Amino acid sequence: MAYIVIDEGESIESALRRFKRRVQQEAIIKEIKKHSVYFKPGERKRMKEAQARKRMRRRMKRERELEY
């Protein structure tokens, strides 16, 4: 669970900004969204394969850019 210690004299806005950054770093929101919806096993498999294709395309694009 993400938490921060508010320093003396620190504004609420800066503390909230630090807290949001901590939550994002720990991927808490991503995990909540992942478990909030049920996907059928076949649908989950299709999504996973689509992500793998997307990563591969991105990797190939970077490699082509490095060749030039």
Which of residues 30 and 50 earns the better pLDDT score? Answer: 50
**What confidence score (pLDDT) does residue 66 get?**
84
Express as a percent the part of the chain with pLDDT over 90: 66
pLDDT average, residue stretch 25-37: 88
**What confidence score (pLDDT) does residue 1 get?**
79
8: left (phi over 0), alpha (psi -120 to 50) or beta: beta
Q: Supply the pTM of this predicted model.
A: 0.49
pLDDT-derived band at 55, boundaries 50, 70, 90: very high
C-alpha of 46 from chain center: 20
**What confidence score (pLDDT) does residue 20 get?**
93
